[in-house]
Amino acid sequence: MRILVVKKGTIIKVAAAVILIIGAIILTKVTLIDSKPVSNLSESMPVCRVATDEKKVALTFDTAFGENDYTSQVLDVLSNEGVRATFCVMGLWAKENPEALDAVLRGGHEIASHSMNHMRYPDMTSAEIIKDASEASDLIFDMTGYDTNVIRLPYGAFDTNTILSLESEGYLPIKWSLDSKDWKGYASDKIADGVMGQVEKGDIIMFQNNMENTPEAVRSIVLSLREKGYKIVPLSDLLLNGDYIINGDGTQLYFDD
């Protein structure tokens, strides 16, 4: 019987080569997994912005709690500038402000949901999330005739359960890509400068309806956007239809984009 003798150095070299090959295989698999886009059946992301070749953006306004309400002034600016926007309506606000909600409709603006009670969905069970979202959408339909499936997440907060729960009931969870930060109480020129310094095509821009300087900031932003060649559209005219995907940063796009 012949005994095959292998030198120790040879064994080490072979082992090192095997480790390198295995590492390369693992790295390739991880790279392929990481490169996969998140679909519209995503377990993780709402729509934050939209991939588009057109130079267009959507202005969205969240209705909020509190004594201050500048919805009327915002509507005046939008009317004077001939702009249609999207108002993300919280159910409790709608109950307390039916006249303001009616003014939004008469102004030709679009309605989306902003939940019923503005609770953090990641802190709730699936049943609680669906109940809250359903109450809001039912109320909006009863008050406005809008049968919207678009819901802006309260506080922008979400987790896997939030997205799956809402999508299972046919809702489209959205967030935003550009926060005007008007809620910080900034002066109107600072709000406008902040938005215009960051805006990109496909942005969903968020404002609040309860901040004093928002109306004037919106006026300035609208004028500046037009000077830069942007088209301002309701959210429904920005969002994609059909077989889209949502990537890891919340961009809604078609697979071939």
Provide the residue ranges of all domains of the chain, joining segments of one domain with +. Answer: 1-36, 49-254
* pLDDT at position 17 over 70: no
Name the residue with higher pLDDT: 176 or 39. Answer: 176
Q: Indicate if the pLDDT at residue 238 is higher than 70.
A: yes
Rounded distance between C-alpha atoms, residue 212 and residue 214, angstroms: 6
In sequence order, the 6+-apart residues with CB closer than 8 A to the CB of 238 are 50, 52, 56, 57, 58, 202, 204
Separation between Cα atoms, residue 93 and residue 55, nearest integer Å: 33
Coil/strand/helix, residue 160: helix
Any idea which residue has 């902003």 for tokens?
114
34-38, 87-91, 188-192, 215-219: least confident range? 34-38
Please list, in sequence order, all residues whose beta carbon lies within 8 angstroms of the beta carbon of residue 73, skipping any fewer than 6 positions away. Answer: 214, 215
In this predicted structure, the answer to whether residue 10 has a pLDDT above a threshold of 70 is: no
Q: Is residue 36 pLDDT above 60, yes or no?
A: no
Mean pLDDT of all residues belonging to the chain:
86
CATH for 49-254, options being 3.40.50.150, 3.20.20.60, 3.20.20.370, 3.30.420.40? 3.20.20.370
Instruction: In whole angstroms, give the CA distance from residue 134 to residue 137.
Output: 5
Which residues neighbour 64 within 8 Å (Cβ) at sequence distance 6 or greater?
90, 93, 118, 208, 209, 210
pLDDT exceeds cutoff 50 at 11: no
Mean pLDDT on 176-180: 98
203 close to 63: Cβ distance less than 8 angstroms: no
Phi-psi region of 165 (alpha: psi -120 to 50; beta: other; left: phi over 0): alpha
The whole-number pLDDT of residue 64 equals 81
Please state the length of the chain.
257
The Cα–Cα gap between 24 and 149 comes to: 45
pLDDT-based confidence at residue 44 (cuts at 50, 70, 90): confident
- Please tell me the predicted confidence (pLDDT) of residue 37: 34
> Confidence band (pLDDT; 50, 70, 90) for 231?
very high
**Contact in structure between 201 and 233 (CB atoms under 8 Å):** no
| DSSP state letters, 164-212 | HHHHHTT-EEE--SEE--GGGT--HHHHHHHHHTT--TTBEEEEESS-T
pLDDT score of 257: 60
Bridge partners for 173 per DSSP: 151
Give 51-75 pLDDT, tens digit per residue.
999 999 999 999 987 789 999 999 9
**Which residue bears the tokens 């999330």?**
129
What does the pLDDT read at residue 65? 78
105 forms beta bridges with none
- Tell me the HSE value of 116 on the side-chain side, using a 13 A CA sphere: 13
Identify residue 222 by its one-letter amino acid code. Answer: V
Q: Return the pLDDT at 87.
A: 98
Confidence class for position 190, pLDDT limits 50, 70, 90: very high
